[in-house]
Amino acid sequence: MAIFRAHEVRQLSDVELSEQLDKMRLDLMQARGKVSAGGAPENPGHIREVRRTIARIQTEQNARRSGDQA
């Protein structure tokens, strides 16, 4: 799964943001499931990066919502 930086997230449309958020949440759930089942993660920092990317996407969505109301 691709990790997006802030400038990349700003370039996505609203629909793309929602789609990527769903994909990232699924990826996070699968990674956490693999670790909780006792498996070793392929990349130990992957869960952290996915969580941060989800936060970036949610921050951009909230900024766009608050910008529409102002």
Amino acid identity of residue 1, one-letter, is M
pLDDT recorded at residue 16 = 96
Taking 80 as the threshold, does the pLDDT of residue 1 lie above it? no
CA dihedral 61, 64, 69, 70 (to 10 degrees): 140
Q: Tokens for 35? A: 């670790």
In the chain the domains, ranked by start, together with CATH numbers, are 6-69 (1.10.287.310)
pTM of the prediction? Answer: 0.87
Taking 70 as the threshold, does the pLDDT of residue 70 lie above it? no
Q: Tokens for 10? A: 């700003």
